[in-house]
Amino acid sequence: MRFGVRWGKRIGLSIVTTLVFVALFADILAPYDVDFRNSHTLLAPPTAQHWLGTDEDGRDLFSLLLLGAKIAVMVGFGTVLFCAVVGTLVGCISGLLGSWVDEMVMRVIDVVLAFPRILLAIFIIFLAQEPGVHTVILALSVTGWAGYARLVRAQVLVIREKGYIQAARGFGASNSRIIVAHLLPNIAAPVIVQATFGIAGAILAEASLSFLGLGPQNSVSWGRLLDQGAVLFIKSPYVGVSAGMAIVFSVMGFSLLGDALRDQLDVRSRNTP
C-alpha cells in the first residue's frame, strides 16, 4: 500500500496542479474563442486545427474543455471554501460554548443533513431561475457546511479538555483567542482532508447539475458538454468521451490527493468521503 499511496499522491497532486493552472489561464490557453463557430466543421473528428474535434455548433472542443475547467475549479474551490469557513466557525463556537447553543446547532445540522444535497440544490436553482456560478455555489453550500461543522465540533469537544486550553483559560484568554490560537491549528488537518474530498464532490455535483440542465447558465461546463455529447454519442463520441474524461480525471485527482493527505496527516475520520 505504501507504494500505492506514494504514487497516488504524486498523480493526484499533478492532476490538481494542472487543473488549477488550466483554470487560471483558460482564456489565454484556449486556441479558439467560445463564440467562434466554424460552420464548415460540425461535429468534426480531431484534426490539426481542432485537436479534439468540434461540437455540434462547430465550436472547438479543446477550447471548451479548458473553459469548462474554469467553472469546475470555481465551483469546486468556491463551494468548499465557503463550507469549510462557515462549518469550522459554527463547529468551534458550538463545541466551545456547549449547553443550549451546542444543542441547537446540532439540531440544525440534523435538519440540514436530512436533505440529499442535490435535491436542495435543484430546489434553490429552480427558484432562482437563470442561475449563475454564484447561485450554484450557494445552492451546494447550503447543505455543505454542516458536515464540516459536525467534524470540527467533534474535534473541539476532545481538544477543549486538554491542558493547554485550560491553561489559556486560566490566563484569561477570550473565546475568540482560544479559537484562533489554539483550536484552529489543531483541527486544521482533518478539515483540510475533508475539504480535498469536498472539492471532488462539488465538481461532481456541479457536473451532475449541469448534466440535468440546472448548472450555471451562459457558461461552458463539462456537465453540459456531456449532456450534449450523450445525445450525439452515435454520431460522434468525441464530445461525450472527452468531457467525461475531464470530469473523471479531476475528481480522481482530488480523491487521490485526499487519500494521500489523510494517510500523511494521520487523520482518523469517521466520515468517509
Partner 1 sequence: MRFLEKQIDAAETSGGSPGWFGYLVRRLATLILVVVGVVTLVFVVQRMVPGDPVDVMLGEHATLADRQEMRSRLGLDRSAWDQYWLLWQGVLDGSLGTSFEPGERAVSVSSVIARHVPATVELAIGGLLFAIVIAFPLGIAAALKPNTWIDTVTGFLALAGLTIPNFWLGPLLIYLFCVHYSLFPDPGAQGTGVVALILPSFVLGTALSGKLMRMLRSSLLEIRGEPFVMAAQLRGIPPIRVFLRHVLRPALIPVVTVIGLQFASLLTGALVTEKVFARPGIGTLLLDAVSGRNYPLVQGLVIGLAVVYAGVNLITDLVYAWLDPRVRLIGSGSFS
Here's the x/- map for partner 1, 168-207, by CB under 8 A: it reads as --------------------------------x---x--x
Report in angstroms how near the CB of residue 59 gets to partner 1 at its nearest.
20
| Binding residues for partner 1 restricted to 91-110, rule: CB under 8 A | 103, 106-108, 110
Question: Among residues 20, 34, 89, 142, which is the contact residue for partner 1, using CB under 8 A?
Answer: 142
Question: Among residues 126, 132, 134, 176, which is the contact residue for partner 1, using CB under 8 A?
Answer: 126
Residue 78: other Cβ atoms inside 10 A: 20
Task: Say which residue the cell 490566563 belongs to.
Answer: 171
Cell numbers standing for residue 168: 489559556
Query: Does residue 111 belong to the site contacting partner 1 (CB under 8 A)?
Result: yes
Query: Does residue 20 belong to the site contacting partner 1 (CB under 8 A)?
Result: no
Q: How far is CA 59 from CA 39, 56, 185, 220, in A?
A: 9, 7, 48, 11
| Binding residues for partner 1 restricted to 197-256, rule: CB under 8 A | 200, 204, 207-208, 211-214, 223, 226-227, 229-230, 233-234, 237, 240-241, 243-244, 247-248, 251-252, 255-256
Choose between 15 and 67: whose C-beta lies nearer to partner 1.
Answer: 15
Query: What own/partner pairs with CB < 8 Å and gap ≥ 24 does 62-65 have?
Result: 62/30, 62/31, 62/32, 63/30, 63/31, 63/32, 63/33, 63/34, 63/36, 64/34, 64/220, 64/225, 65/222, 65/225, 65/242, 65/243, 65/246
User: Nearest-5° angle of CA 179, CA 184, CA 185?
Assistant: 130
Report in angstroms how near the CB of residue 235 gets to partner 1 at its nearest.
11
Longest pairwise C-alpha distance within the chain: 77
Query: Does residue 127 belong to the site contacting partner 1 (CB under 8 A)?
Result: yes
Question: Among residues 4, 31, 45, 132, which is the contact residue for partner 1, using CB under 8 A?
Answer: 4
